[in-house]
Amino acid sequence: ILLVAVIVVVTSFISSLLEAAFLSTSAAQVAILEKDGSRAGRLFSKLKENIDRSISAILMMNTLINTLGSASI
């Protein structure tokens, strides 16, 4: 049970960080990364083009993990 709780908390934490990163990164910051030729910049740019889909996936993952975690405890 302790292992499941740790996995739930860590996964929820990571998904919350991802959500915050997507919502707080400006288009200018992404453009600078992309201009520098960064692979992360290209990836982030593609994900930010359709931000609703990216955020929806993160929130669905977080909800699923929290639901599974609460059901197993």
The overall pTM is greater than 0.85: no
Per-residue H/E/C for 1-56 = CHHHHHHHHHHHHHHHHHHHHHHHCCHHHHHHHHHCCCHHHHHHHHHHHCHHHHHH
pLDDT tens digits along 36-62: 998 988 998 998 888 899 899 999 999
User: In sequence order, which residues have a C-beta less than 8 Å from that of residue 5 and are 6 or more positions away?
Assistant: 69, 73
pLDDT tens digits along 6-25: 889 999 999 999 999 889 99
Assess contact for 19 and 51: CB atoms under 8 A.
no
Assess contact for 52 and 63: CB atoms under 8 A.
no
